[in-house]
Amino acid sequence: MIIISMGNGKGKTTSAIGQIIRSLGHGFKVCFIQLFKGEGFYGEQKILVKLDNLIFFAFAKEHPCCVKDVNLDEVVNQCYFAMEKLEELVNSSERYDLIVLDEFNVALRDKFIDENKFIDIVKQLSQKSNVIVTGRGAPQSLIDMADLVTEMKEIKHPYKSGIAARKGIEY
Amino acid sequence: MIIISMGNGKGKTTSAIGQIIRSLGHGFKVCFIQLFKGEGFYGEQKILVKLDNLIFFAFAKEHPCCVKDVNLDEVVNQCYFAMEKLEELVNSSERYDLIVLDEFNVALRDKFIDENKFIDIVKQLSQKSNVIVTGRGAPQSLIDMADLVTEMKEIKHPYKSGIAARKGIEY
C-alpha cells in the first residue's frame, strides 16, 4: 500500500511516526528515511533510534528554505544519496513491512530528486512493503498511484498569532 | 497550548502518537488518555506502555458505532470516569508537559461527555500542559479556544476501493 500525507497543516511527519510506532508494536520491521531534519534536533529521533526492528537514515539535514547558508549542491548530492539508498532497498533481499520517506514530497517539489525515477522506485518498493511518503507538494503522479492520501489542512496555526516553534510540539 | 486534530482523514491518532514520541524524546512527561480503543489491539499501545515518562489510560474501549452489542450505558459511564480522570489531573500537583485526549471529539459529538464541562477542564489543563484533543467532530467552542487546529482531510481511502483495515496501518 502507498500512503501519502501532504498539505500545509501540522501532522504529516508526526502521523508517520505514529504509524512507525503502530507497526513496531506488531513486531513489524520498519525503515525510516528522513530528509531535511537535522539529526538530534527532533525529539522523536532520540526515542526511535532506541527501538528494535527500526533502521533510520537522515539525508540532506537542512533545507535551503529554512536554514541560511545551506549549500544547494550539497543538498542535491544528499538527495542523490537518499535515492541510492532507496534503490538499495529495492534490490535488497531484506524486507521491511513499512518504509517511511519523510519530506520526500518537498524534494520532489523542489526538483532535488527526479519525479519519474522516484515514482518507479516507490512502485517497486510497494510490491513488498507499505510505503509512506510525507511532505507538502506531493506531485499528481504520486497521488494518482497512492492508495491512501490525506491532506493535513491548516485551520488555525499559532505561528500566525506570533508564537514561536515549541520544543516537543514542532521539533 | 491547545491542539486539535479533526476531520474524516487518517492521521489524527497517529500524529498524536508522533507528538508523544517527540515530547518523550526531549525528556518531557506525557499523559495519554484514549477513548474507544480496546487495549492490546492497537500496535502503538504495546510500544508506548514500555516507554518512560508516559502514563496511559484507556476508557470506553469500544464505540457503539463500530462494535455490535456495546452497552451504551457502560460507554457513558466510562466517559464519566474519563472526565473524572481529567478533573484529577486538573487538581493534581503532578505536572505533565503533554496531555493527549484521543477521540474525545467523538465523545463530545455523541454527547457522551458534557461540552461546557470539557471546555472548562481543557482550559484549566492548558494552563500547565500542552493539550492535544483528537477525533472527528470537534465542537466549534473547542476550535475557537484552540491555538493550533488541523483538519485531516481524506483525499483517497482504500476502504472505498474495498481493501480491509490492515494491521500496522489502521490498528
Between CA B138 and CA B108 the distance in angstroms is: 7
The residues of chain B scoring below 50 in pLDDT are: none
pLDDT at res. A161 = 63
Bridge partners for B6 per DSSP: B151
Pick the CATH number of A2-161 from 3.30.465.10, 3.40.190.10, 1.10.3720.10, 3.40.50.300: 3.40.50.300
Q: Do A28 and B158 touch (CB under 8 A)?
A: no
Chain A touched by B169 (CB under 8 Å): yes
Break chain A into its structural domains and give their ranges: 2-161
**Using a CB-CB distance cutoff of 8 angstroms, which residues of chain A are in contact with residue B169?**
1, 3, 19, 22-23, 130, 148
Between CA A18 and CA B11 the distance in angstroms is: 8
Q: Do A24 and B47 touch (CB under 8 A)?
A: yes
pLDDT at res. A165 = 83
Question: Counting beta carbons within 10 angstroms of the beta carbon of residue A52, is it exposed (0 to 12), middle (13 to 18) or buried (19 or more)?
Answer: exposed
Q: Do B155 and A156 touch (CB under 8 A)?
A: no
Half-sphere exposure of B8 (CA within 13 A, CB side): 5
Chain A touched by B160 (CB under 8 Å): no
Chain A touched by B14 (CB under 8 Å): yes
Between CA B136 and CA A121 the distance in angstroms is: 34
Structurally, at CATH architecture level, domain B2-151 sits in 3-Layer(aba) Sandwich (3.40)
Q: Contact at 8 Å (CB) between B16 and B102? A: yes
Between CA A16 and CA B124 the distance in angstroms is: 30
Interface of A with B in 67-106 (CB under 8 A): 97-98
Question: Mean pLDDT by 10-residue block, N- to C-terminus, for chain A (171 residues)?
Answer: 96 97 97 90 93 96 82 94 98 96 97 97 97 96 97 88 80 90
Q: Which among A22, A158, A168 is the nearest to B42, CB-wise?
A: A22
ipTM over 0.85: yes
Q: What is the pTM of this model?
A: 0.94
Q: Do A147 and B161 touch (CB under 8 A)?
A: yes
Q: What is the 3-state secondary structure (H, E, C) of B8-75?
A: CCCCHHHHHHHHHHHHHHCCCCEEEEEECCCCCCCHHHHHHCCCCCEEEEEECCCCCCCCCCCCHHHH
Question: Counting beta carbons within 10 angstroms of the beta carbon of residue A155, is it exposed (0 to 12), middle (13 to 18) or buried (19 or more)?
Answer: middle
Chain A touched by B147 (CB under 8 Å): yes
pLDDT at res. B52 = 96
